[in-house]
């Protein structure tokens, strides 16, 4: 005759009930500042762009996000940083550990919506910064010519004897340095080599 014992289950003796918590989502750790900025081309740039789009930064991208760092990535990152109330070097458009942590965890403030009637980034005719590597001794490209012409237009072309032209020269560097010093910059910030902020101010 089969007997049914109350309170007895078919579990293995000595086993405990499964009370484990659900696995938490895997968070991508901050890869390092070297993976972002002019010239960067990697999967982390794509991941950053996707997170920024999810947080309200889609309007900064006309294409992408993609693996190649662009001015759109810098603008979107800067907008996110400014949404946290950060200013100055804390909102330079380059992601650091804190920016990355807020994005991957979904914390912090989203990018503010553009004000009604506001123009889109780049609509003022400021071309995207092509990268520091294009403005170095030995460089020869159209961006050097573009930079030189804008320097002349802004009144900072006094070191040119000929040109400006596509080959980077000491005259280009000295003119850029003069422009940077006119912004009140000194030391390494006025080294005569254009960066994103020099470029933005020059073409604004």
- Would you place residue 31 in the very low, low, confident or very high pLDDT band (cuts 50, 70, 90)? very high
Average pLDDT over residues 26-36: 87
| Residue 170 pLDDT exceeds 90 | yes
Average pLDDT over residues 124-139: 83
Q: Give the lowest-confidence range in 6-20, 95-109, 177-191.
A: 6-20
Q: Which two tokens stand for residue 197?
A: 């902020």
At residue 4, the pLDDT reads 65
Tell me if 33-105 shares its fold with 132-203: yes
At residue 176, the pLDDT reads 96
108-131 per-position pLDDT tens digit: 999 887 654 444 444 455 788 888
Of all residues in the chain, what percent carry a pLDDT higher than 70?
Answer: 81
Of all residues in the chain, what percent carry a pLDDT higher than 90?
Answer: 54
| Residue 36 pLDDT exceeds 50 | yes
Domain assignments of the chain as residue spans, ordered by start? 33-105, 132-203
At residue 130, the pLDDT reads 83
Question: CB atoms < 10 A from the CB of 10, how many?
Answer: 4
Mean pLDDT of the chain: 84
33-105: CATH number: 1.10.101
CATH C-level class of 132-203: mainly alpha
Q: Which residues of 114-152 are buried (b: 16+ CB within 10 A; e: fewer)?
A: eeeeeeebeeeeeebbbbbebbeeebeeebbbbbbebbe
Whole-prediction pTM? 0.48
């Amino acid at each position: 005759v089969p007997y049914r014992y109350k309170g007895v289950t078919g579990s293995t003796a000595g086993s405990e009930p499964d009370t484990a918590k659900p696995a938490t989502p895997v968070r991508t750790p901050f890869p390092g500042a070297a993976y972002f900025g002019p010239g960067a081309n990697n999967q982390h740039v794509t991941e950053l762009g996707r997170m920024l789009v999810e947080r309200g930064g889609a309007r900064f991208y006309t294409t992408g996000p993609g693996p190649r760092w662009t001015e759109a990535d810098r603008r979107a990152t800067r907008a996110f940083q400014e949404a946290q109330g950060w200013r100055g070097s804390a909102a330079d458009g380059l992601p650091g550990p804190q920016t990355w942590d807020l994005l991957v965890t979904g914390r912090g403030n989203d990018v503010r919506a553009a004000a009604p009637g506001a123009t889109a980034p780049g609509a003022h005719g400021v071309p995207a910064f092509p990268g520091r590597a294009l403005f170095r001794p030995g460089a020869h490209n159209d961006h050097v010519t573009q930079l030189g012409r804008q320097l002349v237009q802004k009144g900072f072309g006094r070191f040119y004897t000929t040109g400006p032209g596509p080959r980077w020269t000491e005259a280009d560097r000295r003119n850029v340095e003069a422009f940077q010093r006119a912004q009140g910059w000194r030391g390494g910030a006025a080294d005569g080599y254009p960066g994103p902020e020099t470029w933005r101010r020059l073409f604004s």
